[in-house]
Structure 1
Amino acid sequence: MGVYGMGRFIPDIVEKLGGELVAEALMELQYRFPLTPTPYHDVAERLGIGVAELLDMLKTLKEKRILKRIGFYLNYRAARKRAALIAIEADKPREATRYLAGVLEVTHSYLRDHPVYNLWVVGKHEDPEKIVEAAQKAAEQYGSGRWLVLWGEKTLRLSVKYDLEKGVSRAGPLSSVAANPPKPEDIGYSMALVRALRVLPLEERPYAVIANRLGLTEEQVVAAMREMLEKGILGDPGAALDGHRLGFVYNGMVTLAPRDMEQLDMLCQWVVDNVEEATHVVKRSVTPPGSWRHLCYFMVHAVDQEKVKQVLRRLENCPYLDDYMVIKSLEDLLPGVIR
């Protein structure tokens, strides 16, 4: 799994690749990513190494599938899509995942230990009816016919980062998600530019590389990045890591039911204010209506179960909570997907 050195959790695979220096670099790139034209140079300077050494390190981490990408989260609402968490009682979960990925934009598919719904898939589409139709067909063709669609009504936080000092997930500083961002085209930017900013090149001047590819100047790309970040089209800058490969093997989806449905917003906001380890906090609604009452949702990831329990003990102090479930992840059916 890993060891603690100098107060920092160092996963075994990171220890083999350079130990403290690599762990420190990953923390900097997750939590203090510079919004400058030369982010890698700036991080390397903080670490006391050359930018070439840092870039070589990052390329190795990418080859080892620890580093998924460095860049920005794209707010799906800016593309005018709906997102939903689809739960299915599936006999053939891999086949159901393939089917759903063929008709929806699927970013996550997990086997989980819920007593009824074992397959949990995040799907997006411009037309919400297509999501419901896909869930129903997948459940009928590859399972018992039982399904839920849990709509993402409001995302209060989205930031999947791993604290190598505490051995538990912790959201980054720019983790809020705009509810109604403009479309990139509405403020003069192409989706090609947005997609390029999602995965920055591992080059000394990444924005200059993107600019050259798209026929822009480096200054234009940096200005666009900052404006789209400010307006909520982009979010959560920095490194996206494969937590499981880093030893964060305890992955729990926590679903919460409010004492009164009128308190659902207050319950979700309480989680944001009191659970920094929550990497997603989402208020949901459900189709079919009334079929699921745990409509506030968050995720937590840790290197051992005790750290998850410590987070969950905090829920005892929540005045809006009726009850909760922890639905553990058993297997990621889409490992390595860039999200």
Structure 2
Amino acid sequence: MGSGLDCASSLVLEALQYGMAPGPEPFDGAASPLGMDAESLLREARRLRRAGIIRRIGISLHPRSLGGASALVLAAVPGDRAMEYARVVSSSSGGRSKHSYVRSFPRYNLWFTYRARGPESLLEEIGGLLSPLGVDDYVVLTTARVCKLSVKYDLERGTSWSQPGVLPEDPPLLGELGVDRALARRLQDLPVSRRPFRELAAEVGETEEGLLDLVGEMFSRGAAVDFGAVLDPEAIGFRHGAVVMGSGGAAECERVATLAPEATHAILREPAGGARWDLRVYFVIQARRREDVEAAAGRAAELAGIGERELAYGEGGITL
């Protein structure tokens, strides 16, 4: 498999990514095709979690359902201190920047995501974060639409790989479904146990049935978009990852989501504050080999009808 993982561990990771569904005993469904019992799979899942290979197991949420206003910020910082800036942005954002990365891109070498309290305060909050650092050359690209979000890694193919499909454009806010932020965090990182929803339900004063009904509603209405294990790409040997920026609009973004299984994200972005920026379709591809990233990016762009495109490879960063 080329990742330092033995075959058995790789099969377990595949099952935990692709073979789980929300239900009373989600690990049972993943264990059966492996010829394992659920307790054996749970032991392996706990071991891989302790080793840092599995980041979490649970639900992935539609970013729109979190509320506020989100953006990708591209900033120009001194190259020899770029990683230092990434750490400072991550630590001083009050949890509003979940990803802060150094990328190989002309002019703008620090890329970070940011979720503001609302669209009216987005630029002010980002300026307040960067101004004390002496950073005044940056572009804010707001999230106009999220067409795909499914971060899975095919350990046999050696590339990111997930089912195609376009996410709903306007899912309900979590609060409208009765889900507060504390519960949302727990649903994203469930207990690694035989009946994780029963365990979580007891903690929050709910019944297992009631909590599963709520999770079912979250999926049916588009607030929840995926379920299973989320892996650390570095730990499984996926050391090459690029954000692909392409020309186009909503139609091209949707085609990436439906025609490029290697894409983990497909997002349409709009420049804020009157900035001029023509590359609006963003998708992410990760692989063990750089040439596989290049090949997948080329296929995706061709299938989606994207003409102009650029790739920005990651050179280290912070994920919360």
Same fold (TM over 0.5): yes
The one-letter amino acid of 1:86's match is V
In the other structure, the counterpart of 1:246 is 236
Match of 1:304 among 281, 289, 313: 289
Q: 1:184 and 1:223 mapped to 2: Cα distance?
A: 14
1:23 to 1:301, Cα distance in 2 relative to 1, 3 A: same
**CA RMSD between the two structures:** 2.1
How far apart are 1:143 and its partner, in Å?
A: 4.8
How far apart are 1:99 and its partner, in Å?
A: 4.1
SS of the equivalent of 2:312 reads strand
1:1-339 to structure 2, matched below 5 A, reads: 2-3=1-2, 11-12=3-4, 14-15=5-6, 20-91=7-78, 92-93=81-82, 94-95=84-85, 97-99=87-89, 101-103=91-93, 105-172=96-163, 176-258=166-248, 264-315=249-300, 317-318=302-303, 320-334=305-319, 337=320
> Tell me, which stretches of 5 or more residues in structure 1 are unaligned?
4-10, 259-263
How far apart are 1:135 and its partner, in Å?
A: 3.1
How far apart are 1:294 and its partner, in Å?
A: 0.5
How far apart are 1:188 and its partner, in Å?
A: 3.9
How far apart are 1:137 and its partner, in Å?
A: 4.2
SS of the equivalent of 2:235 reads coil
Q: 1:315 and 1:209 mapped to 2: Cα distance?
A: 42
1:253, 1:327 within 8 Å by CA — same for their partners in 2? yes
1:213 to 1:172, Cα distance in 2 relative to 1, 3 A: farther
How far apart are 1:240 and its partner, in Å?
A: 0.3
How far apart are 1:234 and its partner, in Å?
A: 1.5
How far apart are 1:217 and its partner, in Å?
A: 1.3
SS of the equivalent of 1:165 reads coil
More deviation, 67-76/115-124: 67-76
Name the TM-score, length of structure 1 as normaliser.
0.86
Q: 2:55 and 2:86 mapped to 1: Cα distance?
A: 25
The one-letter amino acid of 1:90's match is V
1:151, 1:284 within 8 Å by CA — same for their partners in 2? yes
1:88, 1:143 within 8 Å by CA — same for their partners in 2? no
Please list the CA deviations of residues 48-70 of structure 1 after superposition, one character each: whole Å capped at 9, or x if unmatched. 12222211111111111100010
Q: 2:304 and 2:266 mapped to 1: Cα distance?
A: 17
How far apart are 1:129 and its partner, in Å?
A: 4.2
Aligned structure 1 segments of 4 or more residues deviating by more than 6 angstroms: none
**Which structure features the higher share of strand residues?**
1
SS of the equivalent of 1:43 reads helix
How many residues are paired up? 316
Please list the CA deviations of residues 77-105 of structure 1 after superposition, one character each: whole Å capped at 9, or x if unmatched. 22322110011112344346434653451
1:233 to 1:144, Cα distance in 2 relative to 1, 3 A: closer
2:86, 2:102 within 8 Å by CA — same for their partners in 1? no
> Tell me, which stretches of 5 or more residues in structure 2 are unaligned?
none
How far apart are 1:74 and its partner, in Å?
A: 2.2
More deviation, 24-33/110-119: 24-33
Q: How many percent identity over aligned positions?
A: 28
The one-letter amino acid of 1:307's match is D
2:98, 2:113 within 8 Å by CA — same for their partners in 1? yes
Name the TM-score, length of structure 2 as normaliser.
0.91
2:89, 2:97 within 8 Å by CA — same for their partners in 1? no
1:99 to 1:302, Cα distance in 2 relative to 1, 3 A: closer
Please list the CA deviations of residues 294-324 of structure 1 after superposition, one character each: whole Å capped at 9, or x if unmatched. 1110000000012112213325635742310
SS of the equivalent of 2:71 reads strand
